Structure 1
Amino acid sequence: MAADPTGQHLVLFARQPRYGVGKRRLAADVGDLEALRFARASLDRLRRTLGTDPRWTLWLAVSPDRPTGWAAPARVIAQGPGNLGDRLDRVVRTLPPGPVVILGADTPTVTRQDVADAFAALGAHDAVFGPARDGGYWLIGLRRRPRQHLPFARVRWSTEHALTDTMAAMGARATALLRVQEDIDDGPSLRRYLSGSRRG
């Protein structure tokens, strides 16, 4: 894999936006079409907002692994099989050397300053987390070292324990926290996001 000229990797985990696929909790509340519209709009917003900053290189970690034409012209890496922990582990180990910050495509409120704050935190910490309102996290950043133990093996994904489980797996290594944000996973969270966007 080619070296990253910035030395800093920003990875956006993204599922190909397709009707009736993905965002099932959201679709159950607002319908498949509205869920698809959100998925496309959120992914487009994050790519536009974060993809042109010269301080890092944006990668799209995509699912399904093929085809990937919808993700062009971004640098693309396949998520591969397994649960979220398996896929995070694989992507972190596959990227060229340098600190990595990973976020999902369902938190459209993430800004360039959030990402810059995450990379800055990795100057003095081994990991940084962006806590989500539901007990998970919208961002994880890792300084990365040779033969580093990654904290994804025993996490109870998609539960209120995801953040505490991952931080516990870090052991005594230094961690930092960013501001709390909300993943858009259901109808109420989408309505709160849209209301905030209108006020903004």
Structure 2
Amino acid sequence: MTFTRNPELGKVKSRLAKGIGEKAALEVYIQLLEHTKSVLQQIDVDKCVWYSVAVRKNDLWNDKIYQKKAQIGDDLGARMLNSFKDAFQNNYEKVIIIGSDLYDLRPTHIQEAIDALDTNDVVIGPAKDGGYYLLGMKTLHEKAFAPKAWGTETVLADTLKELDSQKIQLLETLNDIDYAEDLLPYETFKKYTS
């Protein structure tokens, strides 16, 4: 599963937009969505895109390849919990969610997460900012979605505390793109930072 925001001017990457402007932030976000799609195309699993506002037909995400659903819930935790519940109710044995703002994400990260669930209860891909870019489970652990300060540097630590009785594997830590300085390591985004 991947969570996305509908790519609309002024409605995506607000923290990034403060540094590079709304138009540039939208352009960057569309490139991040394209990258996420290219990564997912290389993994042979069922795929679902969860839209922030409304499900779009005939968009970047091919209707024949991706299940498409609208996120439900008042905050990120509730929306993720509802998507995991949906997947487990549909008899999936391993459920993995990724964000859509990681230019460092590779198919190997997702494959490693899938494999990790053979011998672990939970797999998490930590982000450099203290959150996470990937969360995977083979049974639902609702406490991972308890209310917390989503989007802050304590999200990963809080989640690990909530899941302390589970066997957890951590993946490689990656950089997610939230602020203008997060673009600096990437040649692709140089025009937005120079």
Q: TM-score range by the shorter chain?
A: 0.7 to 0.9
1:80, 1:180 → 2: CA distance?
28
TM-score (norm 1): 0.85
Q: 2:178 aligns with which of 169, 179, 185?
A: 185
The percent identity for this pair of structures is 28
1:89, 1:186 → 2: CA distance?
26
- Report if aligned partners of 1:51, 1:57 keep a CA contact under 8 Å in 2: no
- Match of 1:111, as an amino acid? R
1:27/1:113 Cα in 2 relative to 1: closer, same or farther (>3 Å)? Answer: same
Q: Report the alpha carbon displacement of residue 52 of structure 1 after superposing the two structures with TM.
A: 4.6
Alignment partner, residue 164 of structure 2: 171
Alignment partner, residue 61 of structure 1: 50
Matches within 5 A, 1:122-137: 122-137=117-132
Alignment partner, residue 39 of structure 1: 29
Alignment partner, residue 28 of structure 1: 18
CA deviations 1:66-115 (Å, max 9, x no partner) are 24223442211211231000000000001122211111111122111000
1:136, 1:50 → 2: CA distance?
21
- Report if aligned partners of 1:132, 1:183 keep a CA contact under 8 Å in 2: yes
1:52/1:179 Cα in 2 relative to 1: closer, same or farther (>3 Å)? Answer: closer
Alignment partner, residue 100 of structure 1: 95
Q: Report the alpha carbon displacement of residue 13 of structure 1 after superposing the two structures with TM.
A: 0.5
Alignment partner, residue 83 of structure 2: 91
Look up the SS of the partner of 1:151 in the other structure.
helix
- Report if aligned partners of 1:136, 1:163 keep a CA contact under 8 Å in 2: yes
Look up the SS of the partner of 1:176 in the other structure.
strand
CA deviations 1:152-187 (Å, max 9, x no partner) are 113321111100111111131100100010110010
Deviates more, 1:106-115 or 1:73-82: 73-82
TM-score (norm 2): 0.88
1:175/1:144 Cα in 2 relative to 1: closer, same or farther (>3 Å)? Answer: same
Superposition RMSD in Å? 1.8
Q: Report the alpha carbon displacement of residue 49 of structure 1 after superposing the two structures with TM.
A: 2.2
1:169/1:15 Cα in 2 relative to 1: closer, same or farther (>3 Å)? Answer: same
2:80, 2:43 → 1: CA distance?
23
Unaligned runs of 5+ in 2: none
- Report if aligned partners of 1:130, 1:177 keep a CA contact under 8 Å in 2: yes
Alignment partner, residue 134 of structure 2: 139
CA deviations 1:102-150 (Å, max 9, x no partner) are 11111122111000000111111111111111111111111115xx534
Alignment partner, residue 39 of structure 2: 49
